[in-house]
Amino acid sequence: MKAFMDQNFLLQTQTACDLYHNLAKVTPVLDYHCHINPAEIANDRKFDTITQVWLGGDHYKWRFMRSCGVDEKYITGDATDKDKFFQWAECIGKAIGNPLYHWTHLELQRYFGYNGILNKNTAEEVWNLCNAKLKDDNMSVRGLIKQSNVTLICTTDDPIDSLEYHKQIAQDDSFDVQVLPAWRPDKAINIEKPDYFEYLAKLSEVSGIRIHTFADLKAALVNRLDFFASMGCSISDHGLEYVMFQPAAEEEIEAIFAKRKNGETVTREEELQFKTACMLFLGKQYHRMNWVMQLHYGVKRDNNTLMYKQLGPDTGYDCINNHTPSAQLADFLNALATTDELPKTIIYSLNPNDNAAIGTILGCFQDSTACAKLQQGSAWWFNDHKTGMQDQMISLANLGNLSGFIGMLTDSRSILSYTRHEYFRRILCNLIGNWVENGEFPADMEILEEIVKGISYNNAVNYFAFDLKTV
For 114, left (φ over 0), alpha (ψ -120 to 50), or beta? Answer: beta
Q: 69 Cβ partners below 8 Å, 6+ apart?
A: none
Q: At what angle do helices 196-207 and 214-230 cross, to 10 degrees?
A: 50
Say whether both 91 and 157 belong to one domain: no
Residues 100 and 240 reside in one and the same domain: no
State the pairing for strand pair 344-349/292-297. parallel
Could you say which of 90, 116, 138 is where a domain stops?
Answer: 138
133 with 177, same domain: the answer is no
Q: What are phi and psi of 297, to 5 degrees?
A: -150, 180
DSSP letter at 177? S
| Mean pLDDT on 368-392 | 97
pLDDT (0 to 100) of residue 174: 95
CB-side neighbour CA atoms (13 Å) of 192: 11
For residue 41, being part of any structural domain is answered with no
Hey, what amino acid is at 170? Answer: A
362 and 334 in one domain?
A: yes
Nearest Cα residue to 332 out of 284, 276, 291, 376? 276
Question: Distance between CA atoms of 169 and 177, rounded to whole angstroms?
Answer: 9
Q: Do residues 224 and 100 both lie within one domain?
A: no
- Chain-centre distance of CA 146, in angstroms? 20
- Burial of residue 206 (number of CB atoms within 10 Å: 0-12, 13-18, 19+): middle
Residue 236 lies in a domain: yes
Q: Which residues contact 413 (CB under 8 A, 6 or more apart)?
A: 34, 35, 36, 37, 57, 58
DSSP symbol at 353? G
Output the pLDDT for position 413.
Answer: 84
Q: Residue 303 maps to which CATH number? A: 3.20.20.140
Residues 20, 21, 24, 30, CA torsion sign: positive
Q: Which of 122, 138, 154 is the last residue of a domain?
A: 138
Q: Are 55 and 188 within one domain?
A: no
Distance between start and end Cα atoms, the chain: 36
Are β-strands 29-31 and 150-154 bridged in parallel, bridged antiparallel, or unpaired?
Answer: parallel
Question: Do residues 308 and 252 touch, judged by C-beta distance below 8 A?
Answer: no
- Domains identified in the chain, total number: 2
CB atoms within 10 A of CB 209: 18
Model pLDDT for residues 229-270, shown as the tens digit of each residue: 999 999 999 999 999 999 999 999 999 999 999 999 999 999
Burial of 39 (0-12, 13-18, 19+ CB in 10 A): middle
Tens of pLDDT, residue by residue over 407-439, are 999 998 889 999 999 999 999 999 999 999 999
> Is residue 11 in a domain?
no
Say if residue 219's pLDDT is above 90. yes
Domain boundary among 109, 138, 167: 138
Rounded percentage of the chain residues whose pLDDT exceeds 90: 99
Residue 319 shares a structural domain with residue 334: yes
| Angle made by CA atoms 65, 70, 72, in degrees to the nearest 5 | 95
CA atoms within 13 A on the CB side of 142: 16
CB 302 within 8 A of CB 308: yes
Distance CA 150, CA 28 (A): 6
Residue type (1 letter), 412: S
Q: Which residues are registered as beta bridge partners of 295?
A: 238, 347
35 is a domain residue: no
Please indicate, yes or no, whether residues 133 and 280 belong to a single structural domain of this protein. Answer: no
Nearest to 424 by CA among 389, 396, 459: 389
398-409: pLDDT as tens digits: 999 999 999 999
Phi, psi dihedrals of residue 414, rounded to the nearest 5°: -95, 130
Question: Is 315 contained in some domain?
Answer: yes
What is the tens place of the pLDDT at every residue in 170-193?
999 999 999 999 999 999 999 999
State residue 238 phi and psi, 5-degree precision. Answer: -130, 130
| Residue numbers of the domain that contains 89 | 46-138
pLDDT band for position 340 (cuts 50, 70, 90): very high
Kind of pairing between the strands at 319-320 and 299-300: antiparallel
Residues 6+ apart with CB under 8 A from 82: 49, 51, 127
Residue 121 pLDDT more than 90? yes
Query: Alpha-carbon distance 389 to 391, whole Å?
Result: 5
Query: Across residues 133-144, what is the average pLDDT?
Result: 97
Q: How far apart are CA 117 and CA 124, in angstroms?
A: 12
User: What average pLDDT score do residues 352-359 get?
Assistant: 98
pLDDT of residue 57: 86
Asked whether residue 38 carries a pLDDT value surpassing 90, the answer given is: yes
pTM of the complete model = 0.97
CA pair distance 93, 89, nearest whole angstrom: 6
Q: Is residue 38 part of a domain?
A: no
* d(C-alpha 105, C-alpha 419), whole Å: 10
Same domain, 284 and 368: yes
pLDDT, average across residues 297-318: 95
> Residues 133, 145: one domain?
no
Mean per-residue pLDDT, 437-453 = 98
Q: Is residue 53 part of a domain?
A: yes
Collapsing DSSP states into helix, strand and coil, what is residue 33? Answer: coil
Closest of 2, 18, 13 to residue 434, by C-alpha: 13
Please, which pLDDT band fits residue 294 given cuts at 50, 70 and 90?
Answer: very high
Contacts of 231 (CB under 8 A, 6+ apart): 163, 166, 167, 170, 180, 181
pLDDT of amino acid 460 = 98
Give the CATH number for residue 114.
Answer: 1.10.2020.10
- Distance (Å, rounded) from C-alpha 426 to C-alpha 11? 7
43: helix, coil or strand?
A: coil
Residue 27: inside a domain: no
Label residue 285 by pLDDT band (50, 70, 90): very high
Identify the pLDDT of residue 412. Answer: 86
CA distances from 11 to 6, 137, 410, 419, 424 (A): 10, 34, 21, 16, 12
Task: Assign 157 a pLDDT band (cuts: 50, 70, 90).
Answer: very high
Mean pLDDT, residues 106-125: 98
> Does 387 lie in the same domain as 284?
yes
Shared domain for 446 and 304, answered yes or no, is yes
